Chain A
């Protein structure tokens, strides 16, 4: 070694000013490696950009919706034939009785504005969403006294008309489409100029429940967001204490023997089990054996708890292990009991890591669909679950499930809706992960 480094007195083999071959090779290797690394990062960023552009370009329009505003005459002979404003009698008039009323008022309004069109009354009425009669009926039954009056209503336009203003439906595609005609689009254009039709931000996409395949314009995420939220509460309330208790026991109190080794291996294994397996388990235990209701957030939450537990246990154990033994020794040396040293000193120091692990586990659970398939949560649910705790047992849907459902619908308008739902899901995930990073930055202690 020493003669290699000793410079030869006659001719120096290397100079600090001039690179020799070996140095150049090493430098080149480093440059190449940097290029590979850059390429890997660029590929990753490109994939992300591609995903985001495709989702955003498809989905951003779902937050806007086209509305039609026109006066509706609530004819008494149609809605309340007896004329005594008794909601029970009026309830006999179904939405099929309200639909012609809306159509007629719309046709009259278009005529009164002096817009020329070749369309028959039926085709003109078809431009209003199928959701409208139901909304009007609920409004009339809630306040029977408005029967006989003329009120101005803002109603959803049909999915194809809405698609026209968003660029999804064109004159050329309408030509071939059985569900919309170019004349309807021309009328829509004229109505927009007159201010009768308007495309604007639509909160209902976030708050309204799902709608059937016939009315994509009315479909919203309300039930799904609520269902996901309830499930996350169940997961948090169950998985955090169980996971933390298990980790503390295993890390601080349990003897190190074959049995605890076995448990450790099993926990790591459980973290890698495909999530559908937990769904099968949930169906067998929680629904068939324990008799919990189907499609309920409580069952979804329990299944996701099982799925999240290993993640939380592994994260918690890692952060407990990261607390230096000197802290424990110091506490014990000052006369603290084992439990006092853990709960007064070790746990508070490990808390940021535990919380980060929990939030990441929750984020993972939020995006999970497969286990929910088997417990009946992949369903068409229109009723909001009631407030907790009863709401945990009411049928509900979940955000990723809603995406899955919408991609299967035949109306092309649901593609936009599904992408919109993905955007909402991504916003939640980004928020949760940002909180996790913030907590780590803010409270993490390094030794």
Chain B
């Protein structure tokens, strides 16, 4: 009896391993990468599944770097077809790709993402400049020819801002957003406030070192790195109504009943101000297609064309409704996919 049971189980194992040995051909598009691009990719994947005979693509998150690393692992059905990224691919990543045989890569810019500063809806309103953020968050400030630890603890100390303790929730270093925040806000503020020159005088004119000093964020608890998602930042602000968080425009648009947005250099972040470049803190979003998979994985090219079609990525499409700032040069991107132009 028991022996019979065991034999049956053994057969079952054998059956499973036998099927495992059979090569499976994949019929769905596999996508991985940036968690900022993920909601957009999911929206497009869903609409693609509804409107085409092809199966709905599978979209994984994990971050831009993880996505590109998996993208560059090689060519074949066990590797992903598309990598989402909230930054452009780096030289070393292209080199890794080439080493593993991924030579033909199509870069597709889907639009722009605004990075906004928002606080609790019932709290004070803020009108920021990059300088404010630099003075509030830099680890060290140049004072009288020497670098001292940042003494500011109240927004009223860094400029003409409400009397409120500084409590900032900024993206952790594993997020692509952090890079944009450091370069477009902190470094900019450092240059605007004249601190950059002061630091270069102190360190003897080393510009790279001065930039690094500028972008070093204080670690004394005034600023908190959020390694999770924007939902975590929102939870932190709900717990501490004095906090100010860094969000993506899309996230803010979905939570306008709980958050109020601050202006940056006098410009309110909206789809219009970001697309014209008036609002200074934004970045392009990309996805990368493995050209070698086109024609092998069914629906790959159709999906890419559908993603950047006017119906989807245009100014009145569902992506724009969700918070993506559409790219004015969308037609060029469409042509690029049509002709399979690689990098």
Contact = CB atoms under 8 A, between A and B. Distances in A.
A242 B10 CA distance: 9
B77 interface: yes
Q: Top 6 nearest A-B pairs by Cβ distance?
A: A134-B50, A241-B9, A382-B56, A212-B42, A177-B257, A380-B59
A154 B67 CA distance: 40
Given A213-B254, A294-B80, A408-B229, 7 more contacts: A173-B257, A214-B321, A295-B60, A379-B59, A389-B15, A393-B19, A410-B254
Nearest to A287: B78
B3 A409 contact: no
A383 B80 contact: no
A383 B49 contact: yes
Nearest to B7: A241
Contacts of A153: none
Interface in B31-81: 32, 35, 38-39, 41-43, 45-47, 49-51, 53, 55-56, 58-62, 73, 77-78, 80
B174 to A, nearest CB: 14
B230 interface: yes
B50 A348 contact: no
Interface of A: 91, 94-96, 130, 133-134, 137-138, 169, 173-174, 176-179, 211-215, 234, 237-238, 240-242, 244-245, 287-288, 290-295, 298, 343-344, 347-348, 373, 376, 378-383, 389, 392-393, 395, 407-412
B280 to A, nearest CB: 22
B61 A378 contact: yes
B255 interface: yes
A378 B77 CA distance: 19
Contacts, number: 144
A96 B311 contact: yes
Contact of B12 (A237, A295, A347): A237
Given A138-B50, A178-B256, A213-B322, A410 B78 contact: no
B180 to A, nearest CB: 18
Interface string B208-251: 00000000000000000000111100000000000000000011
B271 to A, nearest CB: 11
Contacts of A174: 257
B208 to A, nearest CB: 36
Nearest to A299: B20
A435 B36 CA distance: 43
B49 A392 contact: no
B16 A241 contact: no
B261 to A, nearest CB: 11
Nearest to B78: A291
B339 interface: no
Nearest to B9: A241
B121 interface: yes
A232 to B, nearest CB: 14
11 contacts: A133-B50, A176-B256, A237-B13, A237-B16, A238-B16, A290-B20, A343-B2, A380-B59, A410-B231, A411-B254, A412-B254
Contacts of B51: 94-95, 134, 137
A169 to B, nearest CB: 8
Contacts of B43: 212-214
Interface stretch (B22-30, B102-110, B128-136, B184-192): B22-30
Given A376-B32, A383-B49, A410-B231, A178 B322 contact: no
Given A138-B50, A241-B6, A380 B58 contact: yes
